[in-house]
Structure 1
Amino acid sequence: MLSVEHLEAAYGESRILFGIDLAVADGEVVTLLGRNGMGKTTTVKSIFGLLKPRAGRVSVDGADLTGADPHRVAQAGLGLVPEGRQVFPTLSVEENLRATARPGKWDLAKIYALFPRLAERRRNMGTQLSGGEQQMLAIGRALMTNPRLIVLDEATEGLAPLIRADIWACLARLKAEGEAILVIDKNVDALTRFADRHVVIEKGRVVWTGTTAEILATPEVKDRFLHV
């Protein structure tokens, strides 16, 4: 479904990505791993048109979306849970969810079933939520676009352990329902419980790819590229 080929990107004269290749098939969960500052978020921004690539190709089902405006990427079926959550602060939980809604299997009732806490706080403003609740809302908002692929940038960064567990359970449930997911996070042990494949980047280049079985059998990958 999603294909990223030889992607290059820069901020001004500072090159960040040097030929990133990755792909996500329908119903597949793929992780994008690497230490801070290695190009993970830049890859996501380049996919979603928030940063225009210098070279390479981004496509969905073969349709070229390289450098397309973000709304076109969303229309193609990609939903983003951005780093920092970026919920609408002056809208209520329910208004946040309705703001991005498109017809499909995900509606308010299903989001509230996935995250009962959002149902309890549906009239609260975005600024009145905890970090964990904001992350639930950001995921719910992305799902309300009824995407074919949901992309999570730093899925559990800064969250308490119990909330992290809730987010991992949510992602496992989404996978069981056939959702395609591309996820960035530092918790490799949690990701290997439900992800299918892993892409590791170092200084803007892909340095390792493999299945969950392969990454578990290759501890030197974590030691070399993922540990601080």
Structure 2
Amino acid sequence: MLKLEAIESAYGQSRILFGIDLDVAAGEVVTLLGRNGMGKTTTIKSIFGLLKPLGGRVVIDGEDMTGRSPHAIAQRGLGLVPEGRQIFPTLSVEENLVATRRTRTGAARWTLESVYRLFPRLKERRRNMGNQLSGGEQQMLAIGRALMTNPRLVVLDEATEGLAPLIREEIWACLRAIKDEGEAILVIDKNVDALARFADRHVVIEKGRVVWTGTTPELLATPEIKDRFLHV
């Protein structure tokens, strides 16, 4: 459903991406891996129209969406969980969720009730303001908010960054449940071992270029990929 073709992007005169190719099929989980500063977040911004590519194409369901507005991209069925969460701090949990609610043709898969089933803690704290939540709860809320758009592809930039180990495991369990619901997922995170437990394919980038792609069994069978491109 999503295909990037030779995407090139820059901030001013600083070129960051040099021909990124990436695709995610319906129901598939794909990771975008690489060390800090290699272009992962820039790739996400280029997908969502937050940064207009200098070259290449962003294709969604066969339609060229390159450089279209973030609103237009979201309407095509992409939901973003951004780096830093960016929830609305002065809205309640429930208000954050309702603010992005969108129902597509047919019955909505994701409603307040289904998000609360996925994240019971959010239901418990539904009247708390966003700035009253812990980091883990804010990340749950950011994921729930993306799901409330009823997307066909959920994109997570740094899914578990800065979270305690127990909370990370809770987030991974929820992402596996989201996959089981048939959602396609594109995820950035540094925890390769956790990603390997539920992702289908992996794309590794280095200095703005794709240097390796493969399945989870291929990644696990190629430890030099982690040693060369993923370790700090």
Shift of 1:75: 0.2
Counterpart in 2 of 1:8? 8
- Paired with 2:90 and 2:55, the residues of 1 have a C-alpha distance of 38
1:31 is matched with which residue? 31
Q: Answer yes or no: is 1:113 the counterpart of 2:117.
A: yes
Question: Helix, strand or coil: the match of 1:194?
Answer: coil
Deviation digits for residues 54-89 of structure 1 (CA, Å, limit 9, x no counterpart):
000001111111000000000000000000000001
Q: Distance in 2 between matches of 1:17 and 1:154?
A: 19
Q: Is the partner of 1:209 in helix, strand or coil?
A: strand
4+ residue runs of structure 1 moved beyond 6 angstroms? none
Q: Does 1:209 align with 2:213?
A: yes
| Residue of structure 2 in register with 1:178 after alignment | 182
RMSD over aligned CA atoms reads: 0.4
| 1:137-152 alignment, distance < 5 Å | 137-152=141-156
Aligned partner letter, 1:119:
K
How far 1:176 moved relative to its partner? 1.1
Q: Which residue of 2 aligns with 1:102?
A: 102
- 1:8 deviates by 0.3
- Structure 1: distance between partners of 2:114 and 2:225: 38
Letter in 2 for 1:95: E
Amino acid at match of 2:170: D
Q: What is the CA deviation profile of residues 28-58 of structure 1, one whole-angstrom value per residue up to 9, with x for unaligned ones?
A: 0000000000000000000000001000000
For residue 84 of structure 1, give the secondary structure of its aligned residue in structure 2: coil
Percent of aligned pairs with the same residue? 81
Give TM-score scaled by structure 2 length: 0.98
Task: Write the letter of the residue equivalent to 1:3.
Answer: K
Query: Whole-Å Cα distance in 2 between the matches of residues 120 and 109 of structure 1?
Result: 12
CA distance in 1, matches of 2:55, 2:207: 17
Aligned residues: 228
Offset at 1:217?
0.2
- The C-alpha deviation readout for 1:77-106, integer Å capped at 9, x for no partner, is 000000000000110000000000011210
User: In 1, distance between residues paired with 2:209 and 2:70?
Assistant: 24
Alignment gaps of 5+ in structure 1: none
Once residues 63 and 95 of structure 2 are traced to their aligned partners in structure 1, the CA distance between those partners, rounded to angstroms, is 32
1:57 lines up with 2:57 in the alignment: yes
Report how far residue 136 of structure 1 moved.
Answer: 0.1
TM-score scaled by length of structure 1: 1.00
Q: Partners of 1:220 and 1:181 in 2: how far apart?
A: 25
What letter corresponds to residue 56 of structure 1 in structure 2? Answer: G
Gaps of at least 5 residues in structure 2 are none
Aligned equivalents of 1:170, 1:63: Cα separation in 2: 31
CA distance in 1, matches of 2:116, 2:130: 16
Q: How does 1:182-197 map to 2 (within 5 A)?
A: 182-197=186-201
CA distance in 2: counterparts of 1:177 and 1:77, whole angstroms = 15
CA deviation after TM superposition for structure 1 residue 138, in Å: 0.1
SS of 1:38 mapped into structure 2: coil
Q: Which amino acid counterpart does residue 159 of structure 1 have in structure 2? A: L
